[in-house]
């Protein structure tokens, strides 16, 4: 490990506070393996804020040799978003959680919550207003991804942010189009959101993934309305590996979407926000959630904030009293 990386980790650890760091120690064992239940004090929540994440950012040299960054670039390439290192940021937090994101996004918070049986991993991000200048286009039917066959819309920006802890990964993605139709002093937008939770191997399992979006703090008054959204409901319209057509104010697109079984969607017209949540039996298979929103603003840019929370089980030992996680005091 370079001296630069050690320094940044030390700065971030100090920013968290000695109490939080001391409490974190029993929850972490060597070689990236969770400590035995008897060595943990549940529940434990650590939230890393934007300054702490910035303090642990990796240098270009560290990014170039990072397996997490290499995996992120490979995944982005597979969905048609070809990035180079200059378009990517990465941090390694004091508990070894890694975060990788594109310049289109700003990471506002990372949450790690540990109980005696489960670990939760979450992200809060916001639209940076920057763009990586590529338009990701997945093939038709690609589950969970970018719009296909867009008409009457201009791509603005979009990216994914990934957090990994003990091999479990939470990924939060967005893309934004401006609709080429402005009437009644309104700019119109198509905002696409998806997220995935990927458990590590056969010993870790996932039972929840929740994604949310709303106007970024201080910009809610810029948003005139949540005009429409998809999907309307969970399992009624979605098929595995399929897609649905979305349209509004002349904009049209195909929305790749996975099986929505055990998924709830919840729009809020007053808050101009939306949520999708998958919950189900614990499984070792990666799970996803997705929605899209049509919004209008008062002739100004749309700046959204995004949230993801994933819950993974990593201990059983014959127990039946499981304790899922919850990320408290985030304002979401």
**Residue 238 placed within a domain:** yes
Specify whether the CB–CB gap between 168 and 97 falls below 8 A. Answer: no
**Residue 331 placed within a domain:** no
Specify whether the CB–CB gap between 315 and 211 falls below 8 A. Answer: no
Q: Which pLDDT does position 9 carry in this prediction? A: 41
**Residue 235 placed within a domain:** yes
**Residue 329 placed within a domain:** no
| Rounded CA separation 256/202 (Å) | 27
State the alpha helices, DSSP H only, in the chain. Answer: 3-16, 18-24, 50-55, 60-64, 67-78
Pairing of the two strands 118-127 and 304-313: antiparallel
| Rounded CA separation 47/96 (Å) | 13
Q: Which pLDDT does position 152 carry in this prediction? A: 94
Sign of the C-alpha dihedral, residues 82, 84, 85, 86?
A: negative
Which domain covers residue 91, as residue numbers? 3-313
Tens-level pLDDT at each residue, the chain (332 residues):
444 444 444 444 333 332 333 233 223 333 344 444 444 445 789 999 999 999 999 999 999 999 999 999 998 888 777 888 999 999 999 999 999 999 999 999 999 998 888 899 999 999 998 887 666 554 433 345 788 889 999 999 999 999 999 899 999 999 999 999 887 789 999 999 999 999 987 788 998 999 999 999 999 999 999 999 988 765 545 555 677 889 999 999 988 876 566 778 899 999 999 999 988 878 888 888 889 999 999 999 999 999 999 999 886 655 556 788 889 888 88
Length of the chain: 332
| Rounded CA separation 64/14 (Å) | 27
Q: Which pLDDT does position 188 carry in this prediction? A: 97
**Tally of structural domains, the chain:** 1
- Give CA separation, 282 vs 207, 297, 328, in Å: 5, 40, 22
Pairing of the two strands 153-165 and 263-268: unpaired
- Give CA separation, 321 vs 115, 140, 310, 324, in Å: 11, 43, 19, 10
**Residue 319 placed within a domain:** no
Phi/psi for 189 (5° steps) reads -140, 150
CA 199 to chain centre: 15
| Rounded CA separation 276/179 (Å) | 24
For the record, the structure tokens of 195 come out as 């997220």
DSSP 296: E
**Residue 34 placed within a domain:** yes
Specify whether the CB–CB gap between 305 and 216 falls below 8 A. Answer: yes
Q: Burial level of 304, CB count in 10 A (0-12/13-18/19+)? A: buried
**Residue 322 placed within a domain:** no
**Residue 327 placed within a domain:** no
């Amino acid at each position: 490990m370079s001296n630069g990386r050690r320094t940044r980790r030390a700065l971030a650890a100090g920013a968290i506070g000695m109490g939080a760091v001391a409490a974190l120690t029993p929850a972490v064992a060597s070689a990236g393996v969770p400590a035995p239940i008897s060595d943990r004090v549940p529940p434990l929540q650590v939230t890393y804020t934007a300054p702490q994440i910035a303090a642990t950012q990796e240098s270009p040299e560290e990014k170039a040799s990072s397996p997490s960054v290499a995996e992120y670039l490979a995944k982005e390439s597979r969905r048609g978003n070809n990035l180079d290192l200059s378009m990517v940021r990465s941090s390694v937090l004091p508990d070894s959680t890694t975060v990788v994101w594109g310049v289109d996004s700003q990471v506002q918070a990372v949450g790690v919550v540990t109980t005696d049986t489960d670990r939760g991993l979450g992200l809060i991000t916001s639209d940076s207003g920057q763009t990586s200048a590529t338009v990701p286009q997945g093939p038709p039917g690609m589950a969970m991804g970018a719009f296909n066959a867009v008409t009457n819309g201009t791509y603005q920006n979009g990216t994914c942010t990934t957090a990994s802890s003990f091999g479990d990964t939470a990924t939060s993605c967005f893309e934004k189009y401006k609709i080429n139709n402005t009437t009644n002093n309104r700019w119109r937008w198509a905002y696409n959101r998806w997220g995935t939770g990927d458990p590590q191997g056969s010993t870790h399992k996932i039972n929840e993934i929740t994604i949310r979006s709303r106007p970024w703090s201080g910009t809610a008054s810029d948003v005139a309305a949540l005009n429409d959204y998809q999907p309307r409901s969970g399992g009624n319209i979605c098929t595995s590996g399929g897609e649905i057509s979305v349209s509004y104010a002349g904009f049209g697109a195909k929305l790749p979407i996975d099986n929505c079984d055990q998924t709830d969607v919840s729009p809020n017209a007053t808050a101009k926000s939306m949520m999708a949540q998958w919950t189900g039996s614990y499984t070792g298979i990666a799970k996803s959630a997705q929605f899209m929103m049509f919004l209008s603003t008062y002739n100004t840019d749309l700046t959204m904030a995004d949230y993801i929370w994933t819950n993974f089980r990593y201990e059983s030992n014959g127990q039946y009293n499981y304790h899922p996680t919850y990320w408290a005091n985030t304002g979401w």
